[in-house]
């Protein structure tokens, strides 16, 4: 290994100068209807089914008609049967017909946010100064739909702090003639004072941040009709302490469906509305749970039967798909069962075979594999290989699947798969981008959780030039919270670049997904309910016990590092087990869950008023005097997620208790460092472990 290259942070950290050079070769693929299209910077080609790519158009051809286009990377295909390519960037919207070599429309944008285009009607919705507008992309017609938009009242934006699967605030009907949108009144939510220090006199840039147990914003849902130019409001009743998600249009554009979830997040209702009047017509489905319900997905109608739709539910313990009939007014059947594990994604349908194509953990909890599942029968078929982590793009009719995957030993492969027969054609087998480097040994396995029964998956990275007779310092990298996992059977077991770098510096790095993390089912996750941090720490200590059983781990030199929820876990572990961890680096940590947002925090902890014991138990300020080892806390000075109050209040508590953490901040950065700051961050983290753990 001495003759091989060594990783640098510039190569392994996103934002590094040479980061892209060490990423596995890839293809930028899209479907134009049933035609698979490969997009490169200078050319766009389709796969002819005979092992060849045939050019559709080139960058030179596009730029001769549209000089604003510098690369084809932003190309998309809004309509499946028409030879039109769209370029939609921060500043422009262009549609070009490559067959006729004609620019169909060209629009420049300034200040317009949250843009949402109907590919059918060519109307675009957007937000400007917190008001909602629509504009026809083939004419100069613009309409302002709201007048009272402000810092307190916003239209057409994501609501409920992006929880419940919400990522946007506007939803066009299938015919493009009606727009469903959110209106959020947050006037009752106090301003949280973030500060911009880039000017000579710092400027206040407040955000609305509803903290657990306090008054929350109110959301309503409107429907604008392009033809009548009128807006109606869905009759949802009193919007106080209500969450609305999963907005879905019926295929005929006449009905709107959405989930209503109470603030306790334990009672879910699926409502149906008349889109023309806003009338609540019926409640289609209800679900309750003593802890919480998570409506993270909208409805998906069957393309061959407009009366039936698929919805997601964890009511049987795992995310599964269920078939509902509007005509019968009931759930017809459960489409997926526990043999398919947790359903992760619904990619689409093979219309001919009447099958739904899904991605799930059906083979292993740390794998993602793709299956074709019959809608009408208890049958499913694996598509693609039975190893690794797969993700797919489906053709319009669902007969062909572009499957991009990797495994611990395969950097990246792309296969074209017939979803009826399972026949595969290899499109890409990427070379190992690490082949000229000194790569440490990366392994994965399981240990038992603190309950003595549950298998937990880990990743272990040994130092480069590993000597089994030596004792090495060890860093435990931790997240531990819901909706995230760190160990999977993808390339290098999902090993992070910083772990490779630390292995070169003679550290063992260990990562364990304990109970509370993602993709293992509802009971695995909600075991942490009302006492965040408690069970997760018990599982991490089981990981430490495993490490101490290894002859090459120096039990006197164990460190811990994590970000966000992992920052909370890092400090919590150091305060709860002060004699176990010598050094810790906590990034963007939660310190007190009563300072965290309502939607996420109350799902897992209830309110501070109803769960004082749980909030006190997880309040790290109350145990600041327990700090014994060296602790570095890093945070973004303008963090809108784990606001700076978390870190600053803990520093004050440590000062009062006579303990001495170290502090570092990135002014202007949010919850995560990006670009060059991310490289600098990992330099700083590494230096801290080098100074105090070796």
Is 639 labeled as catalytic in the residue annotation?
A: yes
Dihedral sign of CA atoms 597, 599, 601, 605 in order: positive
- Other beta carbons within 10 angstroms of residue 354's beta carbon come to 16
Angle, in degrees to the nearest 10, between helices 676-692 and 497-504? 40
Torsion, Cα 287 288 291 296, to 10 degrees, reads 20
Report DSSP letters for 56-91, one per residue. EEEHHHHHHH-TT---STTEE-SSTTS-EEEEE-SS
For strand 442-448 and strand 424-429, is the pairing parallel, antiparallel, or unpaired?
unpaired
Q: What is the C-alpha separation between 294 and 291, in angstroms, rounded?
A: 10
Angle formed at CA 468 by CA 463 and CA 473, multiple of 5 degrees: 45
Length of the chain: 694
Is 671 labeled as catalytic in the residue annotation?
A: yes
For strand 380-383 and strand 369-374, is the pairing parallel, antiparallel, or unpaired?
antiparallel
Nearest partner of 335 among 316, 326, 327, 351, judged by Cα:
316
Angle, in degrees to the nearest 10, between helices 534-548 and 565-576? 70
Q: What is the C-alpha separation between 352 and 225, in angstroms, rounded?
A: 35
- Other beta carbons within 10 angstroms of residue 54's beta carbon come to 9
What's the token pair of residue 77?
Answer: 């295909």
Q: What is the C-alpha separation between 64 and 75, in angstroms, rounded?
A: 16
Is 73 labeled as catalytic in the residue annotation?
A: no
For 291, residues 6+ apart whose C-beta sits below 8 A from its C-beta are 266, 526, 529
For 250, residues 6+ apart whose C-beta sits below 8 A from its C-beta are 256, 257, 301, 306
Catalytic residue among 116, 319, 539, 639: 639
Q: Which residue has the tokens 């801290």?
A: 688
Catalytic residue among 121, 372, 490, 564: 564
- Other beta carbons within 10 angstroms of residue 53's beta carbon come to 17
Three-state DSSP class for residue 537: helix
Catalytic residue among 289, 483, 531, 671: 671
Which residues form the catalytic set? Answer: 564, 639, 671
């Amino acid at each position: 290994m001495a003759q091989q290259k060594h990783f640098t942070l510039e190569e392994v950290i996103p934002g590094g100068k040479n980061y892209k050079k060490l990423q596995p070769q890839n293809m930028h693929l899209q479907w134009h209807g049933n035609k698979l299209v490969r997009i490169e910077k200078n050319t766009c080609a389709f796969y002819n089914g005979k092992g060849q790519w045939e050019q559709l158009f080139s960058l030179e051809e596009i730029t001769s008609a549209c000089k604003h286009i510098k690369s084809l990377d932003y190309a998309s295909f809004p309509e499946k049967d028409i030879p039109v390519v769209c370029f939609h960037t921060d500043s422009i919207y262009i549609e070009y017909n490559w067959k006729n070599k004609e620019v169909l429309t060209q629009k420049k944008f300034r200040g317009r946010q949250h843009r949402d285009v109907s590919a059918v009607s060519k109307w675009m919705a957007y937000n400007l100064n917190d008001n909602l507008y629509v504009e026809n992309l083939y004419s100069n017609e613009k309409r302002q739909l709201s007048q009272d938009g402000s810092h307190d009242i916003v239209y057409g934006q994501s609501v409920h702090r992006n929880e419940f699967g919400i990522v946007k605030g506007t939803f066009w009907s299938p015919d493009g003639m009606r727009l469903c949108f959110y209106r959020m009144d947050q006037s009752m939510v106090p301003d949280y004072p973030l500060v911009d220090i880039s000017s000579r006199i710092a400027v206040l840039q407040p955000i609305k941040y509803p903290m657990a147990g306090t008054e929350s914003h109110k959301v309503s849902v409107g429907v604008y009709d392009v033809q009548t130019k009128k807006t109606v409001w869905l009759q949802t009743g009193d919007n106080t302490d209500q969450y609305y998600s999963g907005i879905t249009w019926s295929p005929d554009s006449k009905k709107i469906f959405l989930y209503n979830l109470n603030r306790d997040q334990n009672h879910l209702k699926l409502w149906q509305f008349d889109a023309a009047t806003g009338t609540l017509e019926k409640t289609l489905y209800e679900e309750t749970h003593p802890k919480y319900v998570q409506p993270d997905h909208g409805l998906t109608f069957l393309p061959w039967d407009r009366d039936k739709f698929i919805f997601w539910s964890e009511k049987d313990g795992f995310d599964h798909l269920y078939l509902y009939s509007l005509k019968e007014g009931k759930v017809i059947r459960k489409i997926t069962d526990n043999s398919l594990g947790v359903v992760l994604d619904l990619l689409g349908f093979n219309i001919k075979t009447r099958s739904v194509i899904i991605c799930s953990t059906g083979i292993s909890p740390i794998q993602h594999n793709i299956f074709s599942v019959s809608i009408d029968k208890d049958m499913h078929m694996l598509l693609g290989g039975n190893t690794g982590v797969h993700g797919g793009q489906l053709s319009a009719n669902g007969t062909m699947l572009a499957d991009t995957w990797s495994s611990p030993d395969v950097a990246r492969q792309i296969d074209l798969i017939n979803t009826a027969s399972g026949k595969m054609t290899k499109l890409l087998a990427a070379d190992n981008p690490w082949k000229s480097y000194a790569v440490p040994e990366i392994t994965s396995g399981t240990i038992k959780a603190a309950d003595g029964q549950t298998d937990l998956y880990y990743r272990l990275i040994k130092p480069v030039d590993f000597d089994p007779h030596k004792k090495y310092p060890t860093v435990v990298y931790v997240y531990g919270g819901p909706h995230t996992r760190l160990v999977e059977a993808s390339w290098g077991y999902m090993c992070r670049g910083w772990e490779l770098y630390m292995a070169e510096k003679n550290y063992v790095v260990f990562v364990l997904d304990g109970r509370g993390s993602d993709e293992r089912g509802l009971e695995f996750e909600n075991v942490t309910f009302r006492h965040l941090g408690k069970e997760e720490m018990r599982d991490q200590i089981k990981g430490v016990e495993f490490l101490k059983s290894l002859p090459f781990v120096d039990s006197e030199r164990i460190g811990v590092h994590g970000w966000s929820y992992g920052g909370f876990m890092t400090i919590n572990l150091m305060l709860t087990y002060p004699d176990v961890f010598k050094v810790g680096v906590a990034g963007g940590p939660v310190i007190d869950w009563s300072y965290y947002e309502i939607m996420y925090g109350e799902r897992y902890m209830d309110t501070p008023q109803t769960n004082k014991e749980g909030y006190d138990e997880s309040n790290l300020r109350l145990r600041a005097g327990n700090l014994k080892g060296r602790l570095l806390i890093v945070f973004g000075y303008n963090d809108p997620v784990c606001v700076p109050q978390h870190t600053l209040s803990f520093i004050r508590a440590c000062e009062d208790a006579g303990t001495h953490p170290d502090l570092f901040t990135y002014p202007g950065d949010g919850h995560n460092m990006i670009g060059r700051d991310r490289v600098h961050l990992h330099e700083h983290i590494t230096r801290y472990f080098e100074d105090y753990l070796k």
